[in-house]
Amino acid sequence: MAMNENVQQVLDWSVAEVGIPGIVAEVKNGDRTWFGTAGVADIRTGSPRRPGEYFHAGSSGKAFTAATLLTLEAEGRLSLDDTVNAHLPGVLDVNGYDGDTITIRHLLSNTSGLFPTGLAPEVAHRYATRSGFDQHRFDTFTTEELLRLAVSQPPVGAPGERFEYANGGFYIVGAIIEKVTGNSYADEVERTVTRPLGLTHTWVRPTTDTGYPDPHPRGYSHQFLKDGADPAALTPENWQSLMEEPGLPPLDVTELNSSLGYAAGNVVSTTGDMIRFLTAMTTGSLLPPAQHRQMWTTVSTEGSYWMPHTRYGLGLFEFDKQATGGQTLRGVGGSLWGSWCFAVGTPDGQHTVAVHTNTEWKTWDPMFKVIEAEFGISIGEKLS
């Protein structure tokens, strides 16, 4: 695997130039594997990153949610074309939404018209500044609170009109899973996804958990507004001027309550398990053919604030072939305070790379450079 030297160079660059405290990459290519690290797992002690670390997988959890729902459809428990009102009457019928026209498929593909949940004032005022984050880092959200949050702002479009990334849509489908099965969301993910795939290092994080088993890296963040800045005043033009001054030490955010993630992303995993999970999703080894096709029926993300030059399926993404020189690459990923992970691979499951950083997403450059180094595709140049 001669190109792994190039991947190691990207890891070193990510620490030196992007300011990532610590980064790991695990590669599976046929029957060969490689693991590389750069930076540290703990700024205070200088301890290195290592294989098998547990981390929060952020919005990667959306793919687990989609796989669970597709399994329920295969079992005849529901249809992706069911409306929300068919299962949760009235939940969506506020603020201009219509639960008779929004379907489970709309929610899973981020085409429901729901507003981006992270822009809700209730979220921004709790977490947008260091002082706010420290005050609210252990807040617990109930499912009822999350459902109200999902519709707390008006729609951004009609159902099916366009892609707009919305955690709230996944809150709703999580509640549908619980309503249809009578089980908890976490139990259904275990029954339909993690147990069948043998993901022994992956689980939905209980709302009572605020830490991780060993080994795990410390998580760091400095993606905050200046203390005193009003999150409601943020615009695309002024946000940089409201960000805290560069050069401040990062805030250690390792211990936090991540119940805000729920079915939109509250899974703990490892790079090895993420490779195994993505392989099952890309090859179709978990889902029946009909459901596998639905998972990879994609919509364009162009014009949104999400990852450029991608198409979105149900909880996962596929790079636009124009950006990859015609090669198909599929992936899953997510970010939370102090954590960013992604896994990208070929549809046959033979070649996959998983990466984790112990700080949240800062720029797409590490991802694009890793893909370029591992797959020989100049995605970064095509997207610049």
Looking at residue 383, its pLDDT comes to 43
What number is the average pLDDT over the span 346-369? 96
Contacts of 322 (CB under 8 A, 6+ apart): 309, 382
Grade residue 262 by pLDDT with cuts at 50, 70 and 90. very high
The count of other CB atoms within 10 Å of the CB of residue 248 is 10
Residue ranges in 155-288 assigned as alpha helix (H)? 167-181, 185-189, 239-242, 271-283
4-379 fold = Beta-lactamase (3.40.710)
Domain-wise residue ranges, the chain: 4-379
Grade residue 60 by pLDDT with cuts at 50, 70 and 90. very high
Question: What are the pLDDT digits (tens) for 141-197?
Answer: 999 999 999 999 999 999 999 999 999 999 999 999 999 999 999 999 999 999 999
Give CA–CA dist 138/61, Å, rounded: 20
Looking at residue 238, its pLDDT comes to 75
The count of other CB atoms within 10 Å of the CB of residue 319 is 25
Question: What are the pLDDT digits (tens) for 199-225?
Answer: 999 999 999 999 999 999 999 998 898
Residue with the larger pLDDT of the pair 380 and 361: 361
Give CA–CA dist 340/366, Å, rounded: 11
Grade residue 382 by pLDDT with cuts at 50, 70 and 90. very low
Question: What are the pLDDT digits (tens) for 94-139?
Answer: 999 999 999 999 999 999 999 999 888 889 889 989 999 999 999 9
Q: Can you give the three-state secondary structure of 315-340, one letter per residue? A: CCEEECHHHCCCCCCEEEEEEECCEE
Mean residue pLDDT across the chain: 94
Least confident stretch, 10-14, 156-160, 304-308, 345-349: 304-308
Residue with the larger pLDDT of the pair 306 and 378: 306
Contacts of 286 (CB under 8 A, 6+ apart): 67, 71, 193, 196, 197, 280
**Beta-bridge partner residues of 22:** 39
* Cα-Cα-Cα-Cα dihedral sign, residues 93, 97, 100, 103: negative
Q: Rg for the chain (alpha carbons), in Å?
A: 20
Looking at residue 3, its pLDDT comes to 53
If phi over 0 gives left and psi between -120 and 50 gives alpha, with beta otherwise, what is residue 205? beta
**Beta-bridge partner residues of 267:** 204
Looking at residue 235, its pLDDT comes to 63
Looking at residue 380, its pLDDT comes to 47
Grade residue 384 by pLDDT with cuts at 50, 70 and 90. very low
Sequence letter at residue 277: F
Is residue 345 predicted with pLDDT exceeding 60? yes
What number is the average pLDDT over the span 212-240? 84
Secondary-structure breakdown of the chain: helix, strand, coil percentages, each rounded to the nearest 5: 35, 15, 45
**Beta-bridge partner residues of 335:** 340
Looking at residue 141, its pLDDT comes to 97
Q: Global pTM?
A: 0.96
Is residue 229 predicted with pLDDT exceeding 60? yes
Question: What are the pLDDT digits (tens) for 35-50?
Answer: 999 999 999 999 999 9
Question: What are the pLDDT digits (tens) for 274-317?
Answer: 999 999 999 999 999 999 999 999 999 988 888 888 999 999 99
* Cα-Cα-Cα-Cα dihedral sign, residues 96, 101, 105, 111: negative
Residue with the larger pLDDT of the pair 81 and 238: 81
Helix (H, G, I), strand (E, B) or coil at 280: helix
Strongest mean pLDDT among 236-245, 302-311, 330-339? 330-339
What number is the average pLDDT over the span 316-345? 94
Is residue 32 predicted with pLDDT exceeding 60? yes
Residue with the larger pLDDT of the pair 152 and 232: 152
The count of other CB atoms within 10 Å of the CB of residue 264 is 27
Looking at residue 236, its pLDDT comes to 55
Is residue 52 predicted with pLDDT exceeding 50? yes
| Phi, then psi, of 2 in degrees rounded to 5 | -65, -30
User: Which is nearest to 366 in space by CA: 338, 350, 344, 336?
Assistant: 344
